[in-house]
Structures are given as C-alpha cells and as structure tokens.
Structure 1
Amino acid sequence: MITSEIQNLFAELEDAWNRGDGAAYGACFTQDATYTTFVGTVYHGRDDLAAGHQALFDTVLKGTKMFNEITEVRFHGPGTAVVTGRGDVAKKRPAKLTKVQTYTLVREADGRWRIASFHNTRRRPLMEAVSFRYVPASRPRG
C-alpha cells in the first residue's frame, strides 16, 4: 500500500528531475543518502548526488523526463519503507520502462519521507530468459 506521503515524495522527485533542478532533486534524499546509478556510479550524500545530477541535467540529461511505476511498497516499522518499481528517463515516455529500482525510505525527524538509499539497474529480459531456461529453479516465484 502506497501512502499519499510517499506518492508526494515521488511526485517531488519526478518534478525536480523534469525541471532539471539538482538541488530540489537532492532535497528528496537524506543528508547521508547512497545513490547507485545503473552504470555503477555511486554518489554519497545529498550534496554529492545533487551536484552530480545538476551537471547531468545541464548536459547529457537536459530536457529528459523521469517516468516511474511503483510495483511494491513494504513497510518495516513506522519509519522505514522499501519501494521497488520500474523507471526510465527519456525525452518522451518509452513503451517499456527498462530499469528496475529499489528505494529505501525513512521518515525523518521533520515527519517527511526521504530516500536514504537508491539502486538502479537495467533489466535484461533476454539474459533472464536464457538464465531461466538453463536454471529453471532460478526463476522468481512471485
């Protein structure tokens, strides 16, 4: 079950990305957040990921939009949630969202949910199919 507060966090995240605003994007994360991109870049802390993203927004990601689809929210107590989903960034919405994402959210002292950890990986359906064919027991059950 996704709460309106978590929906609002993701709306803020997307809006900041879509405006190319690194500081606003960073504000969605905890001060000590860890952020792992699909190419393996790891940012440590809000300031690092905000500055890195501003540089990207100003160049190779200029004019892109963020697209997210939350597939699951699991709460681990009143102040921690793990969110999984699919996402992508592009100039227009792609037919399929190609990345699988995991967010660890925490409710901070000010009562707001923020992202403490983010991991993004590109989905490889062909590699999955090959793996499942040769090792059928490796297929997820859920």
Structure 2
Amino acid sequence: MHTHASTTAAGTETDTVAIRALLRSSAEAWGRGDGAGYGAHFTEDATDVTFVGTVYRGATEIGSAHQALFDSFLKDTKLVVDIVDLRFPAPGTAIAVTRGEVHKAARRPRRLGKLATYTLVRTAGGDWAIAAVQKTKHRPLMEAFSFRAQPKTRPQAQEVPGRP
C-alpha cells in the first residue's frame, strides 16, 4: 500500500501507520472471504456506499452483506487499496482517498480503476475504525472529455486521485 500523507497536528505518524494497517487488514479480510472480519473494521454506525450505489449501515450489516458477496460474485477475489491522500481535518478524524481494484489474478492489477473515500475515526479504545466509505469507478474517457470540453473542470491539484 503506497501512501502520500499530509500529517498535521491533528494526525501523527503513529496515526498514519495505524490507518494504513487498518486498511491493509480490511483488504486481507476481503482476500480471505471473511465478511465478519471485513465488517469488524467499521464502526457500529458506519455507512458503506458501494460501487453499484447500495448503502449498507453498520459493521454487522456491512460484514454480512460482504459475506454474501464473498460467497458469490466476489468469491476468491482480492482487494488492492493504495492511499493517495490522507489528511486529518480534526483530532480523531481522518479522510483517506484511495485507488484500488478488486481482482482474481495472482498478481496485483496494473490499473487501479476504482476510487474510494474513507472517513476514519478514533474509537473510544484509541483504535481507528472506518466510519464511512464511498466507492466510485474512475472513468478516464469521460474525465478526459470533460477536461477538453470545459478546461476549468480540471482539478488544480498536482496529484489527482485515480490519475497517474
């Protein structure tokens, strides 16, 4: 997992390491097909907006829904998650923008065509957990068309999530 993190007074290097470990652990649970283990990375009132637009609420529902997916459509898949931006807008709160992909191949996919924005919170026990995630497919052709048709829509950031 690659990280480009901006660490502020609200987030320490320890927090960055812990969040990287949390997202890596959630991807490992995915790879094992462990719905309960995947759901355990979320808060009890978390929101997961999936790639297809389904909204799951709470760690238990997220875990059980993913177990059903792991037992069918997502059987034997792996999840790649690379953090492209991590910031700490307030103490105990982090926002991570990631690029990722779900795949069945033995090797990591070359193109990471999905983006996800994670809102993470520090729990009462001091650990980090996922409070919300929103997943989106990157559509480079539509994006290029938009930028060409209306150049002012191009983001000003040097590194834009989802683009090399």
* Matching residue of 1:5: 18
CA distance in 2, matches of 1:113, 1:85: 17
Taking the TM superposition and a 5 Å limit, the aligned residue runs for 1:23-62 are 23-62=36-75
The one-letter code of the counterpart of 1:107 is R
Structure 1: which 5+ residue stretches go unaligned?
none
Could you say which residue in structure 2 is the equivalent of 1:91? 104
**What are the residue-to-residue correspondences of 1:13-28 with 2, within 5 Å?**
13-28=26-41
Partner of 1:138: 153
Percent identity between the two aligned chains = 53
Corresponding letter in the other structure for 2:148: R
Provide TM-score, normalisation by structure 2.
Answer: 0.84
Q: Distance in 2 between matches of 1:141 and 1:90?
A: 31
- 1:74 matched to 2:87? The reply is yes
**Partner Cα distance (2:90, 2:136) in 1:** 27
TM superposition outliers: structure 1 runs of 4+ over 6 Å: none
Q: What number of residue pairs does the alignment pair up?
A: 142
State the distance in 2 between where 1:95 and 1:12 align.
Answer: 21
Q: Does 1:103 align with 2:118?
A: yes
Gaps of 5+ in 2: 6-12, 158-164
The letter for the 1-side match of 2:43 is: T
Q: CA deviation at 1:20?
A: 0.4
Determine helix, strand or coil for the equivalent of 2:126.
coil
RMSD over aligned CA atoms reads 0.9
1:62-92 per-position Cα deviation (integer Å, ceiling 9, x unaligned): 1000101100101022200000010111112
Equivalent position SS for 1:38: coil
- What aligned pairs does 1:121-132 form with structure 2 within 5 A after superposition? 121-132=136-147
CA distance in 2, matches of 1:101, 1:36: 9
What is the identity, as a one-letter code, of the residue corresponding to 1:137? K
